[in-house]
Amino acid sequence: MKIPIPDQIPPVDRLGRVHLIGIGGAGLSAIARLMSQQGVEVSGSDAIDSPVLEALRGEGITCFVGHAAEQLANVDTVIASTAVREDNPEIVEALRRGLRVWPRSAGLRSVMEGRRTVAVAGTHGKTTTTAMLTCALVAAGAEPSFAIGAEVAGLGTNARIGAGDVLVAEADESDGAFLVYEPEGALVTNVDADHLDVWGTEEAYARAFADFMRTIGRFVVLGVDDTGARGLIDVAEELGLQVVTTGLAEDAAIRATDVRVEQDGTTFSVLRDGRPLVDVTLAVPGAHYAQDALLALATGLVLGHDPEALADGLSTYAGAQRRMEHLGDAAGVRVYDSYAHHPTEIRADLAAARALAGDGRLVVAYQPHLVSRTRLFGAAMGRELSAADRVVVADLYLAREDPDPAVTSRLVVDAVDGPKATTGGPVKDLAEVLVTELRPGDLLLTLGAGDITTVGPRVLAALVGR
């Protein structure tokens, strides 16, 4: 459901009691925490119970399982996920009563009032880069507030109000939310066409990032290894923004050299304007993590922090939930889970997984996300999955879309090189399929933005039993 953005967004202390529909999601759970920590009475609902709801209850937030009109008693403001349908009984009741009904972007914008916001945008790598920047600023003594699109092990949460004046926020472009925030500064990881069910064309998607530049107050950090982000340099300079470029490219102002990817992490040296600045050691393997860390480091430098302290903070980042997350080992099989659902993300995660697998087989279980995305990128997804030794592709995760008989997992499977790919059917049956495929020494990576995340734990339990 598309909810209009209000003309006026008052700060959180003027919202009254707030109810969030879809509170179990990463975005709304972060907003709920930030509001609750500022003294707002917060409640929320979600379709199913989850560890997130249980954690929120432990923090004093009322969480309902299921949606019902009576759960809006005494509520003044309703914030809803984009996945919520118009016939949701809580939406119907809120509109009937004339309550303030907001999209999540307005809710996060209200939290930003009175803080120096740094927005982290881009098609890929937003969550990781937001988490890295937060870890770096914590180590530098900035005591930032933050809102991240996943739980981060080193931080113990996905959102917190800090004592400092900076708020680091993941800024999602999927529904245009990033155009609402008006941050002091921002960084852009990359611009790679996605969410075309919302934007329509690649050109419109790219224009949205140019429009994002016009909302920024002072500075922007751009990852210029990506042509889309590089294309924003002229726009940002014409707007009078301070522009800092980062990457592996020789013309990047903040550049990584001597990048080494090992099974236990990534190391690299940083040059600023061609001169040695600092060495960085990350606890996560992957060249793309070096690019994300550069963006975070450069942003910390613009904010005035010491490079050594920032590098120390980057070394504490040990991963985020569903971002190449190690779920466990059983029967000689290592199991990882990741959120990748776009061809570019699949390529990066499989490169990291290959480094982790070493001499073992890389087995990938993939769940395509959205009919519209699979229609456009299904063949490209399959080509990127070809880097694995064995691929099992589950049925599509529909999310907010209706099924299309012409768009199935076969679009992905048929594009994988060779006979190493097969369809896996419904996610609920996937663990059983995978257990018959796996053998000691394998690394299993489950990929996708839907409920594929439930498969890894079930595989581990079955392997223990075996």
Q: Is 170 a catalytic residue?
A: yes
What's the full length of the chain, in residues?
Answer: 466
**Residue carrying structure tokens 């294309």:** 231
Confirm if 318 and 283 have CB atoms less than 8 A apart: yes
Cβ–Cβ contacts within 10 Å for residue 406, how many?
9
Q: Please identify which of the residues 127, 129, 130, 245 carries the catalytic annotation.
A: 127
For the chain, what is the largest distance between any 2 Cα atoms, rounded to a whole number of angstroms? 63
The tokens for 181 are 């925030």
3-state secondary structure of 321: coil
Cβ pair 197, 162 in contact under 8 A: no
- Active-site position among 126, 246, 325, 344: 126
Angle at 93 between CA 89 and CA 99, to 5 degrees: 135
* Sole residue written with tokens 């519209």: 372
Q: And the tokens for 167?
A: 């708020």
Q: What is d(CA 161, CA 168) in angstroms, rounded to the nearest whole number?
A: 10
Structure tokens at 100: 């303030």
User: Token pair of 445, please?
Assistant: 């990576």
Cα separation values, 387 from 234, 347, 449, Å: 36, 8, 20
User: Which residue in this structure is represented by tokens 């190449």?
Assistant: 324
Catalytic annotation, pick one of 93, 170, 173, 184: 170
Q: Which residues are identified as catalytic?
A: 126-127, 170
